[in-house]
Homo-oligomer: A and B are copies of this chain.
Amino acid sequence: MSISMYQASAPRFVNTLNNLSGILDKVQAHAEAKKIDPLVLTASRLYPDMFALARQVQIACDTAKGAVARLAGVEVPKHEDTEQTAAELKARIAKTVAFIETFKPAQIDGSEQKDLTIKLGPREVQWKGMQYLLGFALPNFYFHVATAYGILRHNGVEVAKRDFIGNP
């Protein structure tokens, strides 16, 4: 009895991405109720040199799809970063979830010690599969979803932590 690499990755990403999609529903509703241009919210950020909400969502998606693809040893699909509205960001999430759901446990299980080379900006790091998943991909993924949530809270959108956690 133990945790498989699949259990620690694909269903976790899918669960939180779906929660993030639900959070984005409230962006549209909030903008309509307050008569705010909804692009104000998706372009909002916590500090001038931080990424805006839309980019936080895109990076969360890329972190999730990159993790399952790398662990399974398949090419990471490129999704262009063109989304601006909450509806477009929800579609990006749906596309990411659909990709992750194509993976079967056997494609990802057993990748604990797999050698991975990850590009981080200008440098490349060598990690084992488990180290990459638990120490980089998951913290990074939750970081960007939590930051997206923080941007919305900071702008008065009424989301709550239960929307982030969802149904574990």
List residues of chain A with CB under 8 Å of any chain B CB. 1-5, 7-8, 12, 15-16, 46-47, 50, 109-110, 112-113, 127, 130-132, 134-136, 138-140, 142-143, 146-147, 149-150, 153-154, 156, 161, 164-165, 168
A1-B112 contact in complex given A12-B135, A134-B8, A146-B143, C-beta closer than 8 Å:
yes
* Complex Cα–Cα for A8 and B8 (A): 9
How many copies make up the complex? Answer: 2
A47 touches B110 (CB 8 A): no
Task: Tell me if B2 and A153 are in contact (CB < 8 A).
Answer: no
Q: Determine which of B113, B127, B168 lies in contact with A132 in the assembled complex, contact meaning CB atoms within 8 Å.
A: B168
Shortest distance from the beta carbon of A74 to any chain B beta carbon, whole Å: 20
